[in-house]
Structure 1
Amino acid sequence: MSSTTSTAPFSKAVVASMRRLYPEDLAEKAWDNTGLLLEAPFDPSRRQRNSVLLTVDLTKAVTDEAIERKASIIIAYHPIIFRGLKSITLANSQQQSLLRLAAAGISACPSQISPIPGLGDWLADIITGQTPPNPSHSQPTPSTKPTDDPFTQKRPTFQLQHYPSASQVNTALNLGVTKHTRAPIKPVDFPDRPGAGMGRIVRFAEAQPLAALIERVAAGVGNPKGFPIAIPQGKAVDEISVKSVGICAGSGGSLFAGLSGVDMLFTGELSHHEALAAIESGQSVVTLFHSNTERGFLHGVLRAQLLETVKEEWEKIRKEETGGDEEAMSDETVEVEVSERDRDPFGILVNEAWQ
């Protein structure tokens, strides 16, 4: 008689929680992949912890981390499987991660957090926040050029710096306190989900200095060493005021296409020609590199949200399901952690002589 193969009971609770929080019907199915993507068989003899690991990208480093932590399931903002697979082999780095996770009994599921009030509103909260007077994190502004003659300098020493850990974001920013209105760029009509849709348009009651918005963005993502901005030629940052902002996590080009009547675009990345078109039309652009507009949300919002919901779903499963593994069903523990190894592939290369 063949043995029964099933999903870990705790993983079922996590998947049910994600579907409650972020219904799959709201996902942009034209370019996204929804639902449970890797369903690892449950083996009671080597049961994983009742732990969820949140990440933006499911990389080899995050796979190592999940295995070391003995997590039951990974929730990744970017689906690791986008298209149909004709084979799953160790030769492909992403497929290698999937095979290693399955062998370790760890499932994987995309998060689907962008279409509803959540990630877009978190970015809107940052852009409408306020930094406290004399914040403790403030530092002297780095020099923008070497003080010595560049032709007589020694060879510069560069240091590659990635954005701060998710645990360091939003520590010096009062979110969403500047008076404003907001609405989706691309609304989605969904029952009981007011404000659902892709992206956000923020309109301030009073125009805001671009320099202040840049300061808010920096504080909202942990004060990195720098990030790209684009402004119209002939203008200076301190001359520009902003009354409205178009916001999109990740890559905003397609969502911003045809968007007019906003003074600034705030996103993870834009192509060269998209940025040129924006500043030629008088807009300013602030970008953070793709996943840096997404990662802080995992720590700042999703972790607590998911922890509460999983506790409810796990308690329900423990009461309703009978005949399962007694040790697994008796474990009341629920943990939701954010990956410390997940990071955007791009960092800032800083010349130490300029600091």
Structure 2
Amino acid sequence: MSASLSPTSSPFTRAVVSSMRKLYPESLADKTWDNTGLLLEAPFNPTRRQKNSVLLAIDLTKAVADEAIARKDSAIVAYHPIIFRGLKSLTFTDPQQQSLLRLAQEGISVYCPHTAVDATPGGMADWLCDIVTASIHTPAAPETTPPQASAHYTVPTYPVPAPVTNSDPSTIPPHTRSTILPSPPPLPENMDSAGMGRLVTFSRPQRLTSLIDRIADGVGYPGGIPIAIPQGAAIEELMIRTVGVCPGSGSSVLMKGEVPDLLFTGEMSHHEALAAIERGKVVVALAHSNTERGYLRAVMRGRLEEVLRAEWEGQRAEALKGLEGGEEGLGEVLRDGECEVHVSERDRDPYGIMIRRV
């Protein structure tokens, strides 16, 4: 192996991984089926500098890989694992494997936290609770003209989550929040509420239409809200006291035990949705990753940047103490105090909304 090529990831990438593990402990991930952690450790070459930057995405697609390569990021934090099952080969014939090979060649590592983010207090599930309880405020969406694709259809549009701020506490409806499937002990310190899914219980029933407005606001004003309501019900008259939330595919969490009045998730099967409305319940299923992507910009970016700055400062200061003069290029890397976290501009749900113009 070349002296300039160390069999480890870059020091900055190691700081990224350490920071993610502090924020979203891997012990909280559901390891019975999930595959989380550092899934691609790209070799570190100090003579070919990457930027001290991280790119956040929900899905590691070719478009996202291209974006990270063009930006010269050191690492990608991709919420969904790019590797779920054992691989028997890595070749360029498979598009996803092709992205992994290209990223490794460019020195870009990939960390995937997935259900660790779902279960962690303050993670995606709690962010969805903040949306339905109006605990966060999103600026009003600008009025836009649907882009034209033809005389009869618009081109597909995709939700674009906007920055959020905390709402005035006096305007938040009184409610309680609990974990649906608590994580088994031992739990990380100060994470007693960890687990999958959350149940919001309002002290007074809320109008379903008000909750729909909050959801549309929070996830980026999608072109439509997929919703299932009981047959014969009038949507303007439906009142909701309990809301079960789960990012992604939430039926295995939300359909256990007593079913809440509203099931708010990314996707449910046809038969699961039927089972819910036959019980008099309501389902809002936004398309899988539309319940996840906004969290990156609203919460994760800021949290990771804060923790990563401190982590990188400490790690590089310690490494500089023991630096040997002959380690080519490493000193320059360790003396670079820059630290950036960005959200991908290319990442989006596979499904968009196309509107037929009458």
Per the normalisation by structure 2, the TM-score is: 0.89
2:276 is aligned to: 278
Q: Deviations over 1:220-241 (max 9, x none)?
A: 0111211200000001110100
Q: What residue identity is the alignment partner of 1:11? A: T
| Aligned 1:203-352 pairs, distance under 5 A | 203-321=201-319, 322-323=322-323, 325-352=330-357
- C-alpha separation in 2, matches of 1:255 and 1:60: 31
Q: What secondary structure sits across from 1:158 in the alignment?
A: coil
Quote the offset at 1:257 in angstroms.
2.8
For residues 138-157 of structure 1, what are the structure 2 equivalents within 5 Å? 157=152
* Residues 134-174 of structure 1 deviation map (CA, whole Å, 9 limit, x = unaligned): x753869x9xxxxxxxxxxxx962123332334x2547977
CA deviation string 1:263-312 (max 9, x = no partner) = 11000011000000000000001111000100000000000000011111
Which ranges in structure 2 are unaligned for 5 or more consecutive residues? none
State which of 78, 81, 84 in structure 2 corresponds to 1:82. Answer: 84
2:119 alignment partner AA = P
- Kindly indicate whether the alpha-carbon contact (under 8 Å) linking 1:249 and 1:267 is maintained by their aligned counterparts in 2: yes
The equivalent residue for 1:164 is 159
**Counterparts of 1:204 and 1:195, CA distance in 2:** 19
Aligned length: 338
Q: Are the equivalent residues in 1 in contact too, given 2:159–2:290 (CA < 8 A)?
A: no
Cα distance in 2 for residues equivalent to 1:85 and 1:41: 20
Q: Which residues of 2 match residues 166-205 of structure 1 at below 5 A?
A: 166=161, 168=162, 170=164, 177-188=172-183, 189=185, 190=187, 191-205=189-203
Q: Which runs of no fewer than 5 residues in structure 1 stay unpaired?
A: 143-154
The question of whether the paired residues in 2 share the 8 Å contact of 1:129 and 1:174 is answered with no
Counterparts in 2 of 1:172 and 1:26: CA distance versus 1, 3 Å? closer
Query: Which position in structure 2 is the counterpart of 1:150?
Result: none
Shift of 1:35: 1.5
Q: What amino acid is the match of 1:57? A: D
- Distance of 2:58 and 2:297 partners within structure 1: 11
Query: What residue number does 1:49 align with?
Result: 51
* 3-state SS, counterpart of residue 81 of structure 2: coil
- The answer (yes or no) to whether the contact 1:162–1:344 under 8 Å persists in 2 is no
- Residue 60 of structure 1, CA deviation: 0.3
Is the Cα–Cα contact under 8 Å of residues 159 and 223 in structure 2 kept in the other structure? no
- Structure 1 residues 178 and 160: CA distance shift in structure 2, 3 A: farther
Where does 1:62-73 land on structure 2 (aligned, <5 Å)?
Answer: 62-73=64-75
Q: Does 1:116 align with 2:116?
A: no
The CA RMSD over aligned residues, in Å, is: 2.3
Q: Is residue 115–residue 197 contact of structure 1 (8 Å, CA) maintained in 2?
A: yes
In the alignment, which of 12, 15, 33 is matched to residue 13 of structure 1? 15
1:107 matched to 2:102? The reply is no
> Is 2:208–2:238's contact at 8 Å kept on the other side of the alignment?
yes
Rounded to whole Å, the distance in 2 between the matches of 1:264 and 1:237 is: 12
Matched with 1:34 is 36
User: Equivalents in 1 of 2:333, 2:166: separation in Å?
Assistant: 41
* CA positional deviation for 1:46: 1.3
Contact kept in structure 2, 1:172 and 1:219, CA below 8 Å: no
- In structure 2, relative to structure 1, the CA distance for the partners of 1:2 and 1:47 (3 Å cut) is closer
Does structure 2 conserve the Cα–Cα contact (< 8 Å) formed by 1:126 and 1:173?
no
Contact conserved, 1:251 with 1:269, CA < 8 A, in 2?
yes
Report deviation, 1:80. 0.2
